[in-house]
Amino acid sequence: MHSNSIHSKIREARENNNETQEDIANAVNVSRQTIIAIEKGDCTPSVAIALRIAKHLKKTVEELFNCD
């Protein structure tokens, strides 16, 4: 069985930076609900959003997201 889900480490990185979901959302110009959905795995971010999140958190996209 193949899984195409994307797993995010945004929550861990965000909490390590002592930032809220609202902080990340404002920094990358998306809604807090979008950040929640990405963290829960309910939403796969666009490349542009993933890049903005990674840049804000000073991580690479590969450090924040992985595929099964």
Rounded-to-integer distance, Cα 20 and Cα 46, Å: 21
Residue 7 confidence (pLDDT) above 70: yes
This model's pTM is above 0.85:
yes
Among the residues of 1-68, which ranges form H helices? 10-16, 21-28, 32-40, 47-57, 61-64
Provide the pLDDT for residue 1: 38
Q: pLDDT value at position 6?
A: 73
pLDDT above 90: residue 3: no
- The pLDDT of residue 2 is 40
Q: Encode pLDDT of 29-68 as tens digits.
A: 999 999 999 999 899 999 999 999 999 999 999 999 987 6
Ordered by where they begin, the domains of the chain are: 6-61 (1.10.260.40)
Rounded distance between C-alpha atoms, residue 58 and residue 60, angstroms: 7
End-to-end CA, the chain: 11
